[in-house]
């Protein structure tokens, strides 16, 4: 049994905590919102974002960051990508030594164009960072629907440690040393998913979406290779796998935004 700190108590943070608790780990979630902490600890449910998903008793939630991190074997960041730097900076004062930090957040930092692992390493230079990515929606993970993911790191032992902590009968985790390709796949597939949603909103068919997705994965692969990734990474779960689920799922926010834009809404309205 490990002590795991989960930074973020939204939909994915809650889903990951449910998974970890099911694996027998002791989980401490952190949220900056008192009402969210009260809701999770009192009702054992993230009523706003994951209604119906029961949170086990071996999960606790608090606004106290030091308490959340104390004695943790693993720290998992599950905050929106635009807040990852802020989150890493906040936890940095409590980190001692080469802590393993894994990150479920997908994206590219807007001002610096850095990947999430690069952002974390800027704020916590000694951290052993593992990027987590793949085709997985919190709405399904929380209810134990079979899913698969990728743990990527230049530190193979750190990736394998995260794999061992997360893997379950319904959540398969693969390791990959190509952290550049894994992180880029999880971020830039959102552009193609937005386009796929626009196609749906315009009333186009499966032919159109198939063309977008197929040519899209080629563009992703070529861009990734130019940025130092392995092109074959984009043929895996964190590339084509994540692209498929984001372009087709009803849970996909990017696809839903694209649908509204395709129907005539402005970007702000969508």
**H-type alpha helices, the chain:** 11-22, 34-43, 65-69, 84-92, 116-123, 138-141, 156-166, 179-201, 206-226, 242-248, 253-262
The phi, psi pair for 151, rounded to 5°, reads: -110, 115
- Nearest CA to 75 out of 27, 137, 38, 122 is that of 27
Place of tokens 């402005």: 266
Place of tokens 């943070």: 13
CA 247 to chain centre: 16
Catalytic residue check, 268: no
The phi, psi pair for 64, rounded to 5°, reads: -85, 105
Which of the following is catalytic: 3, 189, 265, 268? 189
Question: Where in the sequence numbering do the catalytic residues fall?
Answer: 189
């Amino acid at each position: 049994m490990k002590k795991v700190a989960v930074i973020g108590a939204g939909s994915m943070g809650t889903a990951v905590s449910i998974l970890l608790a099911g694996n027998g780990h002791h989980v401490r979630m952190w949220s900056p919102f008192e009402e969210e902490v009260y809701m999770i600890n009192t009702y054992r449910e993230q009523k706003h974002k994951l209604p119906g998903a029961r949170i086990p008793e071996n999960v606790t939630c608090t606004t106290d960051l030091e308490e959340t991190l104390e004695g943790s074997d693993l720290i998992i960041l599950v905050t929106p990508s635009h807040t990852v730097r802020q989150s890493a900076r906040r936890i940095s004062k409590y980190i001692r030594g080469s802590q393993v930090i894994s990150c479920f957040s997908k994206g590219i930092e807007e001002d610096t164009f850095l990947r999430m692992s690069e952002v974390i390493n800027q704020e916590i230079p000694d951290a052993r960072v593992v990027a987590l990515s793949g085709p997985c929606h919190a709405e399904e993970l929380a209810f134990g629907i079979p899913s698969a993911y990728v743990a990527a790191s230049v530190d193979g032992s750190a990736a394998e440690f995260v794999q061992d902590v997360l893997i379950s009968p319904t959540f398969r985790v693969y390791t990959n040393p190509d952290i550049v390709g894994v992180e880029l796949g999880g971020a830039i597939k959102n552009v193609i998913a937005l386009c796929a949603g626009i196609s749906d909103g315009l009333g186009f068919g499966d032919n159109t979406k198939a063309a977008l997705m197929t040519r899209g994965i080629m563009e992703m692969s070529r861009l990734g290779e130019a940025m130092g990734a392995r092109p074959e990474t984009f043929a895996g779960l964190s590339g084509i796998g994540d692209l498929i689920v984001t372009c087709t799922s009803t849970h996909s926010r990017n696809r839903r935004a694209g649908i509204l834009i395709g129907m005539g809404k402005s970007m702000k309205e969508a």
